[in-house]
Amino acid sequence: MTETNTSLEAPAMDAITGKPMPKPIPASTLVIFRDQPGSDAPDLLMVERSAKMVFAAGAAVFPGGRIDDADFEFAKTLGHADFDEYGARIAAVRESIEETGIAVAVEGNLDAKRVSDARHALHQGTNLADICNQFDWQLELEKLIPFSRWCPPFAEKRVFDTRFYMISHDDHKAQATVDETENYNLFWGNAQSVLDRAEAGEVKIIFPTKRNLERLAQFGSFDEAVAHVKDHPSVMVSPHIEKRDGETHLCIPEGIGYPITSESMDAVQRGFKK
């Protein structure tokens, strides 16, 4: 009798259409906090993506992007056994420099000219590892605090497996500037103010960003956010569809730190155009 081979996993299927899911693209995002003296809430750095982008076109998001092979290789070179995790952290640092001109979790000479030169080199295709060697920079990757991880079970044009990290950056002299390629605007604002702007139609935010901003709006400082994460460690968030009172909702699990866990599909802003 021939034994059936069950070692191969069946491909994941779209939760709505039943179509096979594409392999998720690893991505990394960084929530950069800037505590404001005398304020009830810290500012967060947001970038508004170009309308020409395939994913989240025109939306306000946290700085981030896909993880490159070079990020994983750099993690291995630095001796990290969990190169998936540390490659993601390296990508978050790299994307922050590329998209905003802000260098976080970097030890070394960070004068404005040097960071600008590093940013230009990254845009020209130079690896962050080579830049760190050239500028005598050391990465302080333990400063990045895992916040959450999202991967939707829907067969979109592209599916991203995105790790979200938090970091404090209270250098008010460091000027964030747009890269004029992937984003056309950036701004600092506390989480609730971004939600209010979205409600007023001034900015667009997609479902994961909205849920994360609602969670971040609970904190009066970076330290409060860190304490919260200790009680609610980062887990994979995979939204699902539910019928509630005759209405279709996009939902996430309860009990993982999010104050609001569902939204009517009629109101949901997703990363790709419907």
Residue-wise pLDDT for 164-198, tens only, equals 999 999 776 778 988 767 778 899 999 999 999 99
Instruction: Please report the pLDDT score of residue 9 as a whole number.
Output: 45
For residue 249, the one-letter residue type is H
d(Cα 12, Cα 151) in Å, to the nearest integer? Answer: 12
Using N-to-C axis directions, what is the helix angle for 69-77 and 83-100, rounded to 10°?
120
Q: Is 53's pLDDT higher than 50?
A: no
Tokens found for residue 147 = 């916040």
Return the closest-CA partner of residue 143 out of 107, 174, 188: 107
Q: What is the pLDDT of residue 85?
A: 97
Question: Of 76, 97, 77, whose CA–CA distance to 85 is shortest?
Answer: 76
pLDDT for the residue numbered 17:
58
DSSP-assigned letters across all residues of 150-216 = E---S--SS-EEEEEEEEE---TTSPP---SSSEEEEEEE-HHHHHHHHHTTSSB--HHHHHHHHHH
Q: Rounded CA gap, 115 and 125, in Å?
A: 15
| Residue 158 confidence (pLDDT) | 77
Both tokens assigned to 176: 């964030």
pLDDT digits (tens, 9 = 90+) for 197-232: 999 999 999 999 999 999 999 999 999 999 999 999
The tokens for 50 are 């170009």
Sorting pLDDT into bands at 50, 70 and 90, what band is 52? low
Burial class (CB in 10 A: 0-12, 13-18, 19+), 187: middle
Domains of the chain: 25-170+177-238 (3.90.79.10)
Could you give the residue ranges of the DSSP H alpha helices within 78-190?
A: 83-100, 112-123, 128-135
DSSP category for residue 21:
P
Strands 236-237 and 145-150, by their bridges, are: parallel
Q: What are phi and psi of 199, to 5 degrees?
A: -60, -35
Q: Quick one: pLDDT at residue 107? A: 96
Q: For residues 53 and 96, what is the distance between their CA atoms, to the nearest angstrom?
A: 18
The Cα 177–Cα 150 span in angstroms is 27
Cβ atoms of 62 and 187 within 8 Å: the answer is: no
Q: Are 192 and 39 in contact (CB under 8 A)?
A: no
pTM (predicted TM-score): 0.88
